Structure 1
């Protein structure tokens, strides 16, 4: 179909403007903080100012006597509550289940990180709650903070004494490969070794977290309004495992959510608190995070320390890979934390390459820091950074082109489906094509001339290459269940057709910036042939949407969209039966195109509205074997991950006098399979690139030896701004459609954050080597001016 026809139709392939943006850009969005319930109280959390300490006493008597105070809550008020659950259990390489400490709603006996909640003041106004919090007297015996992961494993002070160790698990993958890997390294013609740090990050979405609890005493109904990426999962975890509320008596609503990047997947203590407090006080209770609170309460990302090695033969073929990683869990296990450095990381260590033998070891460690969990990419950026830095270093040591070394070791198009040595099977891909496209886009042939021009201005110009592959969708349920997931990872959709032909789609996925209300409507519009404006997308409320797993891991279209396709196909099949009856024809002869049912080979036709009206006004209807109405529900459980991949090229200029790095060009050639809305995909890539480049050059969550957060505000935590980036070049024309979902899509939301960090660091090192600083083999992220300058001086 010509592009202009696609655009007019508003279906798959159209760069339709996001319908959501009308309300967001005009200030009409409805976020959780916009929700205020008559008679609500306000909660203010009193949080630990020390990283590790024993709670000696809490005296709230003076506070409770202050004006407006309804109650001061401590852990004693939650004695019957369960632990905030971890949603994934990892079994270590010795067959032992991970150590899993209790995670209370409010600290019990000890505080374990700066920001750990100790008590909560609930009052008529927020100012009254804050004033009363000053009158709560808390005595804490400070203990040594456990901060260094390797020292924490070696012995000494414990974050959780009852566990007897700070080592959560010691994971080996694939354990049966270990001996063969060691043998391959012993026989290698060349071995490249790097030690890397993947820096800790704070997600910093636009909207801080908010939770509002409400309780109807006359019905026993609890309602939680929260900034969540997956309200159904919150309802399940909080209702079943923390507060023991029957699911039919617990409603969770996530309205418009201003960004998440992973940090709003998880069940947090504040959600359970306001829900329970509303029940106890018989009044609504609201908590709104400040940005300062977010730094010490929202789950952090990354924080890995890794040694990685690559073995090559005399012809420069990769023969084996091995890694040893220390992964920081923080003080408690967040919802999906154990899966990130293991199954979302180890299974991607093959990358785009046909390395025959791989062994990954991960030691997950408890420390006195904020819990660490999934952040945009979740395990995949960590794997890609390790691998792509290593391949570049190997090329430099061998004196060969980083382009040629990659091409030589790529999995070839005729090798798909490709069984990797780390369990997963890639269904499609063409890594040579994306690399060739990048070379064209980035004008690699003209780089030397640009480098010479930079040199004339006293700047060092470098080009950095990185190739990535991602596993999206996190599926299927039966597999992830064997790997330790404590929930299914399917998705759901209900499609309700109204009598006049308009459609409402209820989805278990959740949108927090991805444009679901636009793209999901495009999918259904394309299938039926009606205008996308006739389709409404409903999400975010457990009371009217089918059970779903929410949005993360670039799964919305591949999994949630596929559920919609299944449900819509059920609608179409039933509608064809009605149309066949109306036109006195065989169902097998009915065709649907552009919203019109026709009898093949004839001029007989019925419009979409003719058929939908007949479904609800069944005066002439095949009643003997078909129910009236048009409404269907479907659940979709994928048979495999999807595997988007791409090649990224970054050009930087380095000022040798100051070490300042400027990204002057960036090109991204991605394979996302089929693309529903090119404009939205491009925007997703832009956002991912901004976050990945931010990690590479600016962002760093830093603690001191006492567990105090030194970068706890925007004064110290450097967020990227628009003027830190050039205009990105983005291409997704090298598509190899996914073979196992009905849309052929692969996922795009995390790609930019996965492929960009190694491309940036590779570019910085290339610039330094071109400037004669050949002794610099690695610079840890962020490559700040001080770090780059210090590396040059060494």
Structure 2
């Protein structure tokens, strides 16, 4: 146990995980093969809303290799209802959510029957032999229409399509003044701008399809799942199915991405567990890509009516948000809470005096929505950054100068916002100044003016997004006040092995973030041990018995801090033992780089020697137990607030609608950086998903509620060749909410990039009368936005098209 030269924190180490990932030595759930394992396949409804009149399984049962075929009626008494852990209001309406539909289907893709066979092929073949008779019911798809008094109902028993209405009002909360008064005053002697923005429906489209394997065991069951939340999953499965929690082990092996899409208790996890216990044999279910697109939960899907008021000098005075949020057909694990997270972020970095947020959650006959990278924060950032550009245009000022006039200055931190949050640290001036420098802002504005004057058919647009986000998804008391069913704390344990090696057990559950590497770096620095001597264990509820898992950019800020606290406990006990062995006071013992020393002397003892002494326990102080193992739980007293400035330059062909991203610069502040290489990867991935929302991706349903983008040929996920080169940099203002000074980074790129791109597109076309282009900003939509404007010529071509490296999609 010899300490490494130089600190580990801040070092751009390659990830420990990558060796197995790139050599095919991964432990994906679908790789698991158990003796006698059976395979499960699911029959799904082709209708978005229909009554199930009958299900004939006779022909399917007779198919080769089939052991059993089950319907919702067969499992009705034991399947329970899928959990919703976020009842945002006391009167929230939440219909029962069966894993297997019994009497009625409410979205296309809902499970109606299952087949268990000796092979996956035989199970899938038998699905075609199941005969289901349906009776069509009215389909509800449009958000606005769904709220009308005469709308058809997704769940007639509820009597409405409105699940809940949640309101935050700064005047009522005591965090600000009355927004109606602010808007009325601005209407008399200021400026009021109102816009409606649409957040299209998105699909997480994670790389690894969902998969579940269950070994029922003789006395307890083990469930492997491609999940982000093994601890929450175990808890919820026990609660839903009545299985004693100590008789259920959940393991998340290597997980190939999630983006919130695997923050769920899925119907298939419930069904696979029930079937395996019923048959007494191991059972596997793995979805197809189309099943993943069709049935795994979707994200976003909101209508945002935004009203902003300001004085004539550009000082913002009020912000009103009226939101319709599409829940889909059912409330999944955190579905109702996703738009509510955005409630605290619409005000962003700006000093509004008055604010009101009203959100109505609405049922439709579509796949349920839930968390998707950013979960409420991207939606809020998009709206506020778009409306700030619209306000700047109304006032005739540079949108960057409007932001500077209204943002929180660095000397004003900590700052309590109109939404009631206290931002602990930040320096928006520094991040913006660096971004402007890297971007060449003034030169691009000059070029833009020249192109406009020349009537160039390819116009240049400049988009700005100055964002912050609340992440870490803690403290628990705040989550409780928001009626969230889980806590926000995290747990870690450190095992000091007698050979000098270290095992770190974490309650976080990585699925691509690099926890094994970052946690090893933290422990190596804290304990003065080699990076290579640290092993990180996670994702198994029998090994990591406590945890709240990974989502919401919480892992490092909360879980990493728990690791630090556990390491500090190890050192505190080791210091006591070392003092005893060195025959001195613990106050005289110093610790540096893995070695204890008596202050003012040359007497030393390595941590490895203390570990062995504590393990054999031949000579310990009175009252000290053998071993140096320690664990800790961390529950922060505030969120963390990363921020940054993203600048995007687009070239828009006014004749074809094609959008090309010419330049993209982002300067983010994520606090202290543990591993710059991992941070850079997270930023690049986030940018890709945010740009994808702006230009490419959209889940589209036809008039009958059928998803028409259920393959990757139809749902346009961009690849590296479809994206620009990113220029990235960082500023650093450490967080005050944790001893590492870290802030979240996993969602920042996604949150900031979408409005930067759309603002750039609108900026390129604003002088032609365009105020908005609905996302995704495909060539067709851009071209159509230009039509109807008096000075817009008829386009000559490029109306249709598919994904293209030069920008946009039709």
Q: If the TM-score is normalised by the length of the shorter chain, which range does it land in?
A: over 0.9
| Aligned counterpart, 2:160 | 165
Moved over 6 A (4+): 452-457
| Displacement of 1:415 | 1.9
Q: Report if aligned partners of 2:469, 2:641 keep a CA contact under 8 Å in 1.
A: yes
Q: Pairwise CA RMSD of aligned residues?
A: 1.6
| Aligned counterpart, 1:202 | 203
Among candidates 401, 417, 434, match of residue 420 of structure 1: 417
Q: Distance in 1 between matches of 2:164 and 2:69?
A: 37
Sort the Cα spacing of 1:275 and 1:149 in 2 relative to 1 into closer, same or farther, 3 A. Answer: same
Moved more, 657-666 or 447-456: 447-456
| Aligned counterpart, 2:538 | 539
| Aligned counterpart, 1:553 | 552
The 3-state SS of whatever aligns with 1:440 is: helix
Q: Report if aligned partners of 1:9, 1:531 keep a CA contact under 8 Å in 2.
A: no
The 3-state SS of whatever aligns with 1:16 is: coil
The 3-state SS of whatever aligns with 1:763 is: helix
Q: Distance in 1 between matches of 2:364 and 2:646?
A: 35
Instruction: Verify: 1:372 aligned to 2:366, yes or no.
Output: no
| Aligned counterpart, 2:791 | none
The 3-state SS of whatever aligns with 2:299 is: coil
* TM-score, scaled relative to structure 2: 0.94
Instruction: Verify: 1:122 aligned to 2:116, yes or no.
Output: yes
The 3-state SS of whatever aligns with 2:745 is: coil
| Aligned counterpart, 2:476 | 477
| Displacement of 1:315 | 2.1
| Aligned counterpart, 2:404 | 407
| Aligned counterpart, 2:684 | 686
Q: Report if aligned partners of 1:201, 1:300 keep a CA contact under 8 Å in 2.
A: yes
| Displacement of 1:351 | 0.2
Sort the Cα spacing of 1:314 and 1:655 in 2 relative to 1 into closer, same or farther, 3 A. Answer: closer
Q: Report if aligned partners of 1:177, 1:357 keep a CA contact under 8 Å in 2.
A: no
Instruction: Verify: 1:71 aligned to 2:68, yes or no.
Output: yes
Q: Report if aligned partners of 1:262, 1:552 keep a CA contact under 8 Å in 2.
A: yes
| Aligned counterpart, 1:3 | none
| Aligned counterpart, 1:280 | 278
Q: Which aligned pairs between 1:508-527 and structure 2 lie closer than 5 A?
A: 508-527=507-526
| Aligned counterpart, 1:23 | 20
Moved more, 170-179 or 595-604: 170-179
Instruction: Verify: 1:443 aligned to 2:440, yes or no.
Output: yes
The 3-state SS of whatever aligns with 2:339 is: coil
| Aligned counterpart, 1:190 | 191
Q: What are the superposed Cα offsets for residues 498-550 of structure 1, whole Å, 9 maximum, x if unpaired?
A: 01221000111011111111001101111111111110001111011031111
Q: Distance in 2 between matches of 1:36 and 1:553?
A: 33
The 3-state SS of whatever aligns with 2:166 is: strand
| Aligned counterpart, 2:748 | 751
Instruction: Verify: 1:461 aligned to 2:460, yes or no.
Output: yes
Q: Report if aligned partners of 2:773, 2:785 keep a CA contact under 8 Å in 1.
A: yes
Q: Distance in 2 between matches of 1:492 and 1:546?
A: 9
Among candidates 765, 781, 785, match of residue 787 of structure 1: 781
| Displacement of 1:472 | 0.5
Q: Which aligned pairs between 1:32-181 and structure 2 lie closer than 5 A?
A: 32-78=29-75, 79-91=77-89, 96-155=90-149, 156-174=151-169, 176-177=171-172, 180-181=178-179
| Aligned counterpart, 2:715 | 717
Sort the Cα spacing of 1:7 and 1:698 in 2 relative to 1 into closer, same or farther, 3 A. Answer: farther
Q: Report if aligned partners of 2:53, 2:133 keep a CA contact under 8 Å in 1.
A: yes
Q: Distance in 1 between matches of 2:500 and 2:376?
A: 44
| Displacement of 1:452 | 7.7
Q: Distance in 1 between matches of 2:116 and 2:687?
A: 41
| Displacement of 1:449 | 5.8
Q: Which aligned pairs between 1:578-727 and structure 2 lie closer than 5 A?
A: 578-622=577-621, 624-727=622-725
Q: Distance in 2 between matches of 1:518 and 1:376?
A: 22
Q: What are the superposed Cα offsets for residues 280-304 of structure 1, whole Å, 9 maximum, x if unpaired?
A: 0011111101000011111101000
Q: Report if aligned partners of 2:639, 2:737 keep a CA contact under 8 Å in 1.
A: no
* TM-score, scaled relative to structure 1: 0.96
| Displacement of 1:620 | 2.8
| Displacement of 1:7 | 8.9
Q: Report if aligned partners of 2:491, 2:546 keep a CA contact under 8 Å in 1.
A: yes
The 3-state SS of whatever aligns with 1:501 is: coil
| Aligned counterpart, 1:730 | 728
| Aligned counterpart, 2:345 | 348
Q: Report if aligned partners of 2:463, 2:756 keep a CA contact under 8 Å in 1.
A: yes
The 3-state SS of whatever aligns with 1:347 is: coil
The 3-state SS of whatever aligns with 2:55 is: strand
Q: Report if aligned partners of 1:90, 1:483 keep a CA contact under 8 Å in 2.
A: yes
Q: Distance in 2 between matches of 1:326 and 1:116?
A: 24
Q: Report if aligned partners of 1:166, 1:365 keep a CA contact under 8 Å in 2.
A: yes
Q: Distance in 1 between matches of 2:493 and 2:165?
A: 42
| Displacement of 1:177 | 4.6
The 3-state SS of whatever aligns with 1:224 is: strand
Q: List runs of 5+ in structure 1 lacking aligned partners.
A: 1-5
Moved more, 736-745 or 70-79: 70-79
| Displacement of 1:443 | 1.5
Q: Distance in 2 between matches of 1:453 and 1:712?
A: 44
Q: Distance in 2 between matches of 1:448 and 1:312?
A: 25
Q: Report if aligned partners of 2:414, 2:423 keep a CA contact under 8 Å in 1.
A: yes
Q: Report if aligned partners of 1:509, 1:551 keep a CA contact under 8 Å in 2.
A: yes
The 3-state SS of whatever aligns with 1:358 is: strand
Q: Distance in 2 between matches of 1:256 and 1:145?
A: 39
The 3-state SS of whatever aligns with 2:164 is: strand
| Displacement of 1:463 | 1.1
| Displacement of 1:628 | 0.8
Q: Distance in 2 between matches of 1:573 and 1:636?
A: 17
| Displacement of 1:65 | 2.1
| Displacement of 1:453 | 9.0
Q: Report if aligned partners of 1:476, 1:637 keep a CA contact under 8 Å in 2.
A: yes
Q: Distance in 1 between matches of 2:214 and 2:133?
A: 30
Q: Distance in 1 between matches of 2:720 and 2:459?
A: 23
Q: Distance in 1 between matches of 2:178 and 2:616?
A: 70
Q: List runs of 5+ in structure 2 lacking aligned partners.
A: 789-810
| Displacement of 1:8 | 4.8
